[in-house]
Amino acid sequence: MISAVTGFFSTVDNATMALWLTLLSAFSHAVFGAINKSGFDPYLNRGAINICYSLMALPVVLFVVPLPTASIFAILAVSFLLHLIYEWLQAAAYVKGDFTLVYPIVRGTSPVVSAFIAAMLFTEQLGPSQWFGLLLLSGGILSLAWVNIRLKKLDAAANKILILTVAIAVMTGIMVALFTNLDAYGIRLSDEPFMFLAWFFFLGGFGFPLVAIHRMRKMAVTPPLSKLAIRGIIGALFAFSSFGCLMLATWYGSVAEAAALRETSIIFATIIGVLIFKEKLDLTRLTIIGLIVAGAILVKFTW
């Protein structure tokens, strides 16, 4: 089964495959972010998602893929810690701030940091036009957060919470850059990329769910487990598509390009906000989205 999938991928050239995988990852991540933020407590949402994708990966690691080598397991162990910190920071940011504030800051911070790390770790060098596009893309995403902040009237107490939320969101973006490059290194080091992904998702069930359970025990009112499980299953499917496609894109193409183009997820998030949550799309936001698209084009097509 695994060989059939990889055989299909081999019929498409690497650059095209990396592009389509990245765009699918971007769409999936926008949906995943909305699932994680909405509904119940973000900590419980994330814990349920991790449990579900770990259980889904269990039969794969037992019967399909081989055991990771010592070097791959070491990378998985460090990745486990980085993702645990990231998930905790992300949940904390979503508790303190709005999705329209936190999401753009996280997604706008990570591409630039990731590009610098990739240049050192993989010796991948972006061209001048690609760097300009990267800065345009990240700047556009970050400016969406600024637009959303500008519309709020905050007192002194709310302003302190805002500063803390922004700081947590920036740290979350840095963690995204760190684990993106580490996981890309791990999947490239693996003989079989699906082996790395299967073990990654399986191990994810042993981290943040413990944090979520601890938080749940302190709640006076807890959500119905059946509804939380449904959210976890749906979120897990989009997590497979979001992270799995991103990692496969780094297998086939440039890490810096994949990390940057994946942040076009903010465009899909805006579309979801307009269609599902009935949010308004004014001229300012539409202009910013245009700049993000222009930046993405420059990142992908260098000259």
The ranges assigned to domains in the chain are 14-300
Inter-CA distances, 230 with 106, 186, 226, Å = 26, 31, 6
Share of the chain above pLDDT 90, in %: 56
| Rounded mean pLDDT, 87-107 | 86
Look at residue 171 in the predicted model and tell me its pLDDT.
96
pLDDT of 154 higher than 70: no
| Rounded mean pLDDT, 237-245 | 95
Q: Comparing 233 with 282, which gets the higher pLDDT? A: 233
| Rounded mean pLDDT, 46-66 | 95
Q: Kindly report the average pLDDT of the chain as a whole number.
A: 88
Give the max Cα distance, the chain: 59
Is residue 96 within 8 A of residue 256, CB to CB? The reply is no
Alpha-carbon distance 255 to 63, whole Å?
A: 30
pLDDT of 176 higher than 70: yes
Inter-CA distances, 227 with 193, 222, 235, Å = 33, 11, 12
Look at residue 10 in the predicted model and tell me its pLDDT.
55
pLDDT of 5 higher than 90: no
Question: Among 30-39, 174-183, 249-258, whose mean pLDDT is lowest?
Answer: 30-39
Helix 14-37 vs helix 99-121: crossing angle, to nearest 10: 150
Share of the chain above pLDDT 70, in %: 92
Q: Comparing 225 with 55, which gets the higher pLDDT? A: 55
pLDDT of 2 higher than 70: no
pLDDT of 127 higher than 70: yes
pLDDT of 7 higher than 70: no
Q: How confident is the model at residue 158 (pLDDT cuts 50, 70, 90)?
A: confident
Look at residue 136 in the predicted model and tell me its pLDDT.
94
